[in-house]
Amino acid sequence: MLALAMGGKRPVRFGLNLLLGMALLAGCGPASSTIQVVAASAVPSRVAPAATAVPAEIRVYVTGAVLHPGVYGLLPESRVEDAIAAAGGFVQGADMPRVNLAARVRDEQEIYVPLVGEAMPALAAKAVNINSASASQLRDGLGITSTLANRIVAYRRQHGPFKSVDDLRLVPVPDPDLSRIRSLASTD
């Protein structure tokens, strides 16, 4: 039909030749041939070496509710989940939602895993200002979940600054959480 539509036998001959050529390329041809595999040689890199060397290993201190607290060497691109795994994982009663497992670790960092209901240790003497802290600062400084920290920031943006720490009830922050973080938070 293609030949009739094209007005002659030339398209048929072309089509047959095309099919024969494809069959030969696919290895279905009448003559058998051997295939020779040649290993590729290495090509020198054209990328210049970095001016500053990235450390081969960073050291982090993992403590709290983990199986084996201690100092661990990790790769520079590691995450908190890698540090927790190096420390043997969480123990029974660890407050896992309060630990941001996706956060990148940095050299000399301390990673604390609290128990459920436990206040985070005050790593800094200064209280967290709930009127100016970012969600991550609230999460880390007050030991609250990322969800609650984001709700506090959203409430503050919509309603203005808090007059007292007890105003967190308006967010709402549950009373047990509020009792636990009251001494860690400030409004100034």
For the chain, give every domain's residue range.
55-118, 119-188
What would the pLDDT profile of 67-82 be if each residue is shown by its tens digit?
999 999 999 899 999 9
Is 55-118's fold the same as 119-188's? no
Q: Fill in the amino acid letter for 184.
A: L
CATH of domain 55-118: 3.10.20.600
**Where do runs of H (alpha helix) occur along the chain?**
2-6, 10-25, 80-86, 135-142, 146-159, 175-181
Write out the CATH class of domain 119-188. Answer: mainly alpha
What would the pLDDT profile of 84-101 be if each residue is shown by its tens digit?
999 999 999 999 988 889
Number of H helices, E strands in the chain: 6, 5
What would the pLDDT profile of 39-58 be if each residue is shown by its tens digit?
444 445 454 455 555 568 99
Which of 68, 135, 127, 131 lies closest to 103, judged by CA? 135
